[in-house]
């Protein structure tokens, strides 16, 4: 039994239950390769029971129409989370392998402090209806108005890299809008999801069936959620390949689908930028959480004539970054998520060298860390914009430096990607940076280092980085349908 606060059971129809047949699977610490404990391994029967419970709760309870109940329950969940903050922190470091330093930011404290509180404040001012007034159409005066109502049953599938943020983001949005939900957490970080079920069952008045929480090591579980006719919407965060499969599966029943997928985002340094001030950020960002972030800027675009200078600055930054034991508060970088993830990244590194990219730093496993799925901070330069390294999401601590000839060439390279999730532009001329940023086809853009992160800012991507948005008014309204009314005036 683990020493950490955790939960092994599923939440289905208001009860904490084991998986069918008592099935479970091991939960591994990626920094030590030790088994922390187990998590429930949901089977098809569990998924079907969860969907049925969510359907019944939506169709037969007043959850979707009782705004005050929803707000009260969200406040209760927020209080319960805050009471368990430090236990949550210790568990996340062990399970996710994230440096404890990051739990004081986006891995725990920032989403815990912001997402549900923001949603509660948002609900105080949001208007679910809008009066369109009276108009005469075909000789008849009619009063028209619209009302926004919950979609129904939402299937939410989240990733392992920032599980608390992703879970709270989807839970708070779906529940605040009046939906019921089946939340499936990532297999490799199950406790970060299952503990939410424990708090909901024991510390809130959320009615049975409104929230159902699953984990499973079986790959077909997600497909049940995306094809079942009683599921009205699927919201997914993860790889582009899986997102495409979900979109195809959901097509038969024409479900609402939102996808937050991969990225290969450009860090574009214009020729008038101060490299010494600007470039250290690129080295820090790619190593943060071992590069395991969809919006991390992993392509560094620099003027060709200044590439050598840029490489030396970034190399010095990456060489001096501390990494290793996630419990060491000086470390910015821990392990990658799994042995399979590390092997995949190593394959990309080998391919980059074969493609002619020049290795400036790293590329291997650190000798001083024989246990755990660690990789060295890795820097390549002279990277071909058409190569796998420039086009493919690595999801590891690997930065690709790509030289460009002029501003138009830089913009072309920045947009030369199947993705369009994030990006950034740096220039001594702020208006120039804005102008170039507007030409990058991406869902979020940093201008001279600005930070867009927050529950009030819509987040999502262009092209193969996804569909729809999370956060902000746009993200909230993804969980709503619009109904138009009219009556004689």
Q: Can you give the residue ranges of every domain in the chain?
A: 10-261+465-488, 265-454
**Which stretches does DSSP call E strand in 98-167?**
129-137, 140-150, 153-157
Phi/psi of residue 442, nearest 5 degrees: -155, 150
Q: Can you identify the CATH homologous superfamily of domain 10-261+465-488?
A: Aldehyde Dehydrogenase; Chain A, domain 1 (3.40.605.10)
Catalytic annotation present for 260: yes
Convert the pLDDT of each residue in 340-369 to its tens digit: 999 999 999 999 999 999 999 999 999 999
pLDDT band of residue 317 (cuts 50, 70, 90) is very high
**Number of other residues whose CB lies within 10 A of the CB of residue 62:** 9
Phi, psi (degrees; rounded to nearest 5) at 281: -60, -35
Rounded distance, CA 456 to CA 261, Å?
20
Please indicate whether the domains covering 10-261+465-488 and 265-454 agree at the CATH topology level.
Answer: no
CATH numeric code, 265-454:
3.40.309.10
Write down the residue that tokens 């796998």 correspond to. Answer: 388
The two tokens of residue 44 are 């098809």
Residue range 405-431, pLDDT digits in tens: 999 999 999 999 999 999 999 999 999
Q: Look at residue 219 in the predicted model and tell me its pLDDT.
A: 85
Confidence band for 2, pLDDT divided at 50, 70 and 90: low
- The enclosing H or E element of 257 equals strand 256-260
Q: What's the average model confidence in pLDDT over 181-194?
A: 97
Residue with tokens 């891995």: 107
Mean pLDDT of the chain: 97
DSSP string for residues in 369-414: --SSS----EEEES--TTSHHHHS---SSEEEEEEESSHHHHHHHH
β pairing state of 398-404 and 297-303 = parallel
Residues whose CB is less than 8 angstroms from the CB of residue 272 and which lie 6 or more positions away in sequence, other chains included: 427, 428, 429, 432
How far apart CA 172 and CA 122 sit, in angstroms, is 11
Q: 1 pLDDT exceeds 90? A: no
Distance CA 4, CA 126 (A): 39
Q: Which pLDDT belongs to residue 471?
A: 96
pLDDT at 55 over 50: yes
Q: Is 98 a catalytic residue?
A: no
Cα-Cα-Cα-Cα dihedral sign, residues 61, 43, 202, 113 = negative
pLDDT at position 3: 85
DSSP H helical ranges for 153-279:
163-176, 191-203, 221-227, 240-251, 275-278
Burial of 122 (0-12, 13-18, 19+ CB in 10 A): middle
Torsion angle of the four alpha carbons 28, 33, 35, 40, in this order, in degrees rounded to the nearest 10: 20
Is 453:293 a contact under the CB 8 Å cutoff? no
Give burial (CB, 10 Å; 0-12/13-18/19+) of 218. middle
Annotated catalytic residue, options 287, 294, 376, 478: 294
Q: CA 288, CA 328: separation in Å to the nearest integer? A: 14
pLDDT, tens only, 125-162: 999 999 999 999 899 999 999 999 999 999 999 999 99
Collect all residues with Cβ–Cβ distance below 8 Å to 81 and sequence separation of at least 6: 88, 112, 116, 199
pLDDT at 65 over 60: yes
Report CA-CA distances (Å) from 388 to 297, 336, 354: 16, 20, 11
Question: Residues 7, 8, 95, 260: which is the catalytic one?
Answer: 260
């Amino acid at each position: 039994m683990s020493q950490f606060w955790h939960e092994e059971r599923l939440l289905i129809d208001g009860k904490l239950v084991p998986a069918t047949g008592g099935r479970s699977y091991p939960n591994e610490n990626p920094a030590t390769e030790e088994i922390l404990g187990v998590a429930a391994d949901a089977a098809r029967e569990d998924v079907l029971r969860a969907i049925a419970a969510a359907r019944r709760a939506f169709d037969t309870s007043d959850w979707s129409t009782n705004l005050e109940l929803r707000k009260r329950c969200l406040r209760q969940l927020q209080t319960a989370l805050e009471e368990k903050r430090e236990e949550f922190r210790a568990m996340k470091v062990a399970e996710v392998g994230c440096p404890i330093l990051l739990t004081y930011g986006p891995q725990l404290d920032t989403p815990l402090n912001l997402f549900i509180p923001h949603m509660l404040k948002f609900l105080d001012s949001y208007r679910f209806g809008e009066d369109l007034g009276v108009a005469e159409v075909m000789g008849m005066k009619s009063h028209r108005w619209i009302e926004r109502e919950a979609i129904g049953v939402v299937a939410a599938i989240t990733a392992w890299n920032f599980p608390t943020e992703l879970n709270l983001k989807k839970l708070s949005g779906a529940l605040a809008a009046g939906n019921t939900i089946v939340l499936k957490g990532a297999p490799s970080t199950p406790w970060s999801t299952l503990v939410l079920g424990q708090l909901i069952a024991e510390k809130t008045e959320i009615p049975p069936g409104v929230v159902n929480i699953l984990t499973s090591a079986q790959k077909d579980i997600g497909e049940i959620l995306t094809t079942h006719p009683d599921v009205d919407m699927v919201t997914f965060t993860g790889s582009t390949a899986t997102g495409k499969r979900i979109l195809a599966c959901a097509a038969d029943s024409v479900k609402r689908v939102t996808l937050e997928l991969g990225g290969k985002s450009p860090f574009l340094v214009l020729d008038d930028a101060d490299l010494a001030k600007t470039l250290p950020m690129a080295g820090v960002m790619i190593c943060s959480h071992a590069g395991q972030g969809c919006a991390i800027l992993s392509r560094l675009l620099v003027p060709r004539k200044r590439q050598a200078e840029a490489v030396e600055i970034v190399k010095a930054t990456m060489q001096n970054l501390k990494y290793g034991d996630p419990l060491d508060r000086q470390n910015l970088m821990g392990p990658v998520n799994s042995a399979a993830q590390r092997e995949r990244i190593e394959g990309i590194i080998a391919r980059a060298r074969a493609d002619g990219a020049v290795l400036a730093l790293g590329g291997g496993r650190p000798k001083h860390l024989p246990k755990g799925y660690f990789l060295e901070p890795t820097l390549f330069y002279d990277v071909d914009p058409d190569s796998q390294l420039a086009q493919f999401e690595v999801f590891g601590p690997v930065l690709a430096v790509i030289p460009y000839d002029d501003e138009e060439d830089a913009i072309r390279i920045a947009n030369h990607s199947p993705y369009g999730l994030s990006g950034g532009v740096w220039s001594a001329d702020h208006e120039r940076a804005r102008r170039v940023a507007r030409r990058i086809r991406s869902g979020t853009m940093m201008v001279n280092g600005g930070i867009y992160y927050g529950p009030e800012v819509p987040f999502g991507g262009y092209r193969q980085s996804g569909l729809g948005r999370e956060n902000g008014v746009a993200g909230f309204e993804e969980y709503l349908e619009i109904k138009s009314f009219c009556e004689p005036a």
